[in-house]
Structure 1
Amino acid sequence: MSYEPQQPRPDYRSHGEPGRPDPRTQQYGPGPGGPQYTRDQGGYRAGSSGPQDDEKTVAVLTHLAGPIAAIISVGWLGFVGPLIVWFIYRDKSPFLRAASAGAFNFNVTLWLVNVVGWICVFTVILSPLGFLLIAAYWVMLLVCHIMAAVKAGRGEVYRYPMQLPILH
């Protein structure tokens, strides 16, 4: 929990204000004065207070929605939760937009791995590969989403290791 005073949240709807650099071209990552966030990477402009507590909570739930839905649907609907969050918060919070887009893209990629794995299972000769792909699906799903939820709880954007760039 931070004890520094909260700064007013900037308005991201106006791009290209005269005299100000374009936030989409700024660097992301820890800078000399602490973390820097940009609109591109789903965070905030440098110098802002970062994501609020409610945004962190929604981001954590977004990352955990994928594995929970995948467990309930036996691996088939893990991408639905992040997609719903993306539709709700895509214009309201750059942090949540980046978190939900990353989770959705990762879940779709893993869903395709799962489909290929099940197709391989039903062929006799490729069934060992199929079981390996399905096992990799579940390991990647659980490990990466837990790591993403922990980072989201700290207010950081998690970059998934492999994802098809569908949502931005």
Structure 2
Amino acid sequence: MSYEPQQPRPDYRSEGGRGIGGPDPHVSQYQGAPRTGSSGPQDDEKTVAVLTHLAGPVAALVSAGWLGFVGPLVVWFIYKDKSPFLRGAAAGAFNFNVTLWLVNVAGWICIFTVILLPLGVALIIAYWVMLLVCHIMAAVKAGRGEVYRYPMQLPILH
């Protein structure tokens, strides 16, 4: 018996789809890159999903809460036909951001009516808390390759 580490045997089945074994089952039909596992998103898909979930709060901070839905919408347009994982992540983030955007608008309308000022302040505080907490939780799950279901969303994109 030898205690030397064994070298992996080469796989002769993956010869560009023309070999004995046919097409390589580990090659993605979307990007031509080898898959790391039999199912689940690749590392680059996880990274884009994390950035998609974090684009909402970043854009909302930059635009004072008005443009949080733009980043997920751009990702959805780019990846809607390429990756089901990214399509679902971007659609969920967009739908959630549009819903929160409506809550933010309602809060500002209540603030300007003066009578409903306490309700408006409560809505805007709820907007920022939900925006930060839910998007951070979604980014963590996306980093693990899991799909995050936002708590409330209008079903606009699928």
> What is the TM-score of this pair, normalised by structure 1?
0.74
Q: Verify: 1:122 aligned to 2:112, yes or no.
A: yes
Q: Shift of residue 49 of structure 1? A: 2.4
Structure 2 residue 71 is matched with structure 1 residue 81: yes
Counterpart residue identity of residue 90, structure 2: S
Quote the Cα distance in structure 1 between the aligned partners of 2:101 and 2:131.
10
| 1:56 corresponds to which of 46, 52, 56 | 46
Gaps of 5+ in 1: 1-6, 13-46
Counting aligned pairs with the same residue, the percent is 85
Give the superposition deviation at 1:48.
3.2
Counting only pairs closer than 5 Å after superposition, residues 16-27 of structure 1 correspond to structure 2 as: none
- 1:141 is matched with 131
Q: Deviations over 1:83-136 (max 9, x none)?
A: 000000000000000000000000000000000000000011101000000000
Counterpart AA for 2:54: L
Structure 2 match to 1:90: 80
Could you tell me whether the CA contact under 8 Å between 1:63 and 1:146 is conserved in 2?
A: yes
Question: For residue 164 of structure 1, what is the aligned residue in structure 2?
Answer: 154
1:101-120 pair list within 5 angstroms: 101-120=91-110
Q: Is 1:69 matched with 2:87?
A: no
By how many angstroms is 1:51 displaced? 0.2
Matches of 1:83 and 1:52, distance apart in 2: 21
> SS of the residue aligned with 1:98?
helix
Q: RMSD value over aligned CA atoms?
A: 1.7
CA distance in 1, matches of 2:50, 2:118: 34
CA distance in 1: counterparts of 2:27 and 2:149, whole angstroms: 24
1:9/1:48 contact within 8 Å kept: no
* Larger Rg belongs to: 2
AA aligned to 1:144 is: C
Uncovered stretches (5+) of structure 2, i.e. residues with no partner: 1-24, 31-36
